[in-house]
Amino acid sequence: MKRRDAILLALLGKLAGPGVAAEAGFPDRPVHLIVGAGAGSFPDQVARRLADQLAHRFGQPVIVHNRPGAGGIIAMSEFIKTPADGYTIALATMSQLVFNRYLFHELPYDADRDLQPIGTILNGSMMIVANPSFPARSLAELVSISRSKPGEIDFAIPALGSPPHVVLGLFMDTTRTSFSVIPFKTGSDAVLQVVGGEVPLFIDAVPVVAGLVQSGKLRALGVTGKSRLRQFPDVPTVAEQGYPAFVGEAWMGLVARAGTPAPVAARIRAALDGAIQSDSLRQYVESAGGQTLVTSPDEFALLVQSDVAKWGKVIRDMHLSLDR
């Protein structure tokens, strides 16, 4: 009986073809995770914790490859050249899936055509901060000062077209203010200038500014998300300070190549869900001012399309283009 069953299974495997057999055994070798950010950055730190958790669930190593530059375009350009077999996946940001389609007239990838959503990982707020010598101690005071000097006050951002830049654009539109926007190569470069008093204002992800706010080297004026941050309970949101419709959050997710077989995508999705719920990843994300976010592939796709509509309008209104 056992011999007959074994022969039957072997015949079924041949009829199904090698592709089906390979899908059933996924993964049977290392998986590669492409990240469009440099080593030590927040996306990189998230990716490495995610990779550890995925490896535990896959039973195979997950190797992180950093491909920073050009708003994540370099990473995506490399990613879309890989086979759609699940053995190469990518950490995807709002820049790569939403912003870049408006910031660049010619992209080497199409986020809707070339990428297959697996699920989100996290979302998080940004923080608006000031050098302590700047007179504003609240957003109301910041808005009042800005309106008295439209376009004259410098406001640092980590890079042109970055999520903090676009959120600042929404802030200026919502509050009817204007600033002289000063871009830097990275958030670390920008924050040094703000601490040194060269530029009075700055917006970026919470991990970039948290320690400096806690030490008194920067003053927090507001957070851009839906709710206050656990580590900064006394810093109100922009919405609380007179702009109830304002929400400016950034998210990250995981994508596969379009055409990845459904059983493989489901295996990755299951491992991702487990990774997100792990204490290691959850605690790190929360310490950085964010929260883990579990969604289905369809929910992730809907989030992308919703943000395409929301942030596309903001970018168009900013007349922002990075390749012309």
Query: For residue 180, is pLDDT > 70?
Result: yes
Q: ∠278-279-282 over CA atoms, to 5°?
A: 85
For residue 3, is pLDDT > 70?
no
What are φ and ψ of residue 199, in 5° steps?
-130, 135
Question: Whole-angstrom Cα distance, residue 320 to residue 160?
Answer: 9
- In the chain the domains, ranked by start, together with CATH numbers, are 27-123+249-318 (3.40.190.150), 125-241 (3.40.190.10)
Q: Give 160's Cβ-side CA count (13 Å radius).
A: 12
Residue 199 is which amino acid? V
What's the pLDDT band for 70 if we cut at 50, 70, 90?
A: confident
pTM of this structure = 0.85
Residues 6+ positions from 264 with CB-CB distance below 8 Å: 23, 26, 85, 86, 256
**Out of 2-16, 21-35, 81-95, 260-274, least confident range:** 2-16
240's tokens = 């609380």
Q: What's the pLDDT score for residue 38?
A: 86
Instruction: Name which of 200, 149, 201 is nearest 178 in CA terms.
Output: 149
Asked whether the predicted pLDDT for residue 268 surpasses 70, the reply is yes
SS3 211: helix
For 203-250, how does the pLDDT look when each residue is reduced to its tens digit (9 = 90+)? 999 988 999 999 999 999 999 999 999 889 999 999 999 999 999 999
Alpha-carbon distance 156 to 131, whole Å?
11
- Residue 154 tokens read as 């410098």
In this prediction, residue 36 has a pLDDT band, given cuts at 50, 70 and 90, of very high
